[in-house]
Amino acid sequence: MNVHQVDRAELPGFAESLETRSAEEILRWAADRYAPGLTCATSLGIEDCVVIDMIARAGLPVDLFTLDTELLFPETYALWKQIEARYGVTIRAVRPEHTVAEQAAREGAELWLREPDRCCELRKMQPLARTLSSFDAWITAIRRDQTPERASAPVVGWDGRFGLVKINPLVRWTFDEVKAYAAAHDVPYNPLHDQGYPSIGCIPCTSQVKPGEDPRSGRWRGKEKTECGLHLRAPGQTQGS
Ligand code: SF4
């Protein structure tokens, strides 16, 4: 729910002061400042599971949701239930306007093969925009070393694409640090991560990564696309502006 007047001019100062703080401290700050207008988007990747673990351990009042494209791996759906049971939380399903079958009837079969950007727009971006419009701030689990686009992501900044504050508590973390936290705290995570899938999305657009390959090369393999659009900046927006 929208409850706060957000002063965008304050955000660079927040980002600077939070840059060296721990992920737990950043999450606490975010909850103090923005709850109940605060939500967390989880794709149920290992980074997201770590963030949920931190939120649950601290008992922070944060809404949780995942974009259910209806094309996720069975292992992802099983993990979703496992996380809810383990932490006693509800992860809301945010779904597209149309089922996969309805989309095929309207746009043709397997839109992801022909127009993956359009498919992501319909199955991820539009549902995401609808749900974020009700909040003042959202938490994501992106890391700077995942893609060039994310390399300059601030701890906190203005998300011009969706029109709210974006908080990235793990932004300074490496994948090894994420795995170490998960192991130390016995955080449930997707078994596919241990089977050559460092980044897991929809079944049609996720493939195994060989040793030495870029961890995100298994997403939209063979296409120039590297992001579904959730974490791209708005046209003309500099990171954090
Ligand atoms: Fe469609 Fe692939 Fe995007 Fe999923 S990741 S919404 S299947 S294009």
DSSP state of 38: E
Is pLDDT of 239 > 50? Answer: no
The range of the structural domain enclosing residue 129 comes to 8-195
**Torsions phi, psi for 27 (to 5 deg):** -65, -40
Question: 233 lies in a domain?
Answer: no
Atom number in ligand 1 closest to CA 202: 4
- Looking up residue 132, the CATH number of its domain turns out to be 3.40.50.620
Catalytic residue list: 228
Distance, in Å, from the CA atom of 157 to the CA atom of 202, rounded to the nearest integer, reads 28
Choice from 43, 44, 68, 69 to test ligand 1 binding pocket (greatest atom count within 8 A of CB): 69
What's the whole-number average pLDDT of the chain?
A: 91
Question: Do the beta carbons of residue 171 and residue 20 sit within 8 Å?
Answer: no
pLDDT, tens only, 53-101 = 999 999 999 999 999 999 999 999 999 999 999 999 999 999 999 999 9
The one-letter code for the residue type at 157 is G
Question: 32 lies in a domain?
Answer: yes
Q: Is 234 helix (H, G, I), strand (E, B) or coil?
A: coil
Domain count, the chain: 1
Question: 105 lies in a domain?
Answer: yes
Question: 164 lies in a domain?
Answer: yes
Question: Do the beta carbons of residue 200 and residue 45 sit within 8 Å?
Answer: yes
Cut 0.85: pTM above it:
yes
Give the DSSP H or E segment for 151. none
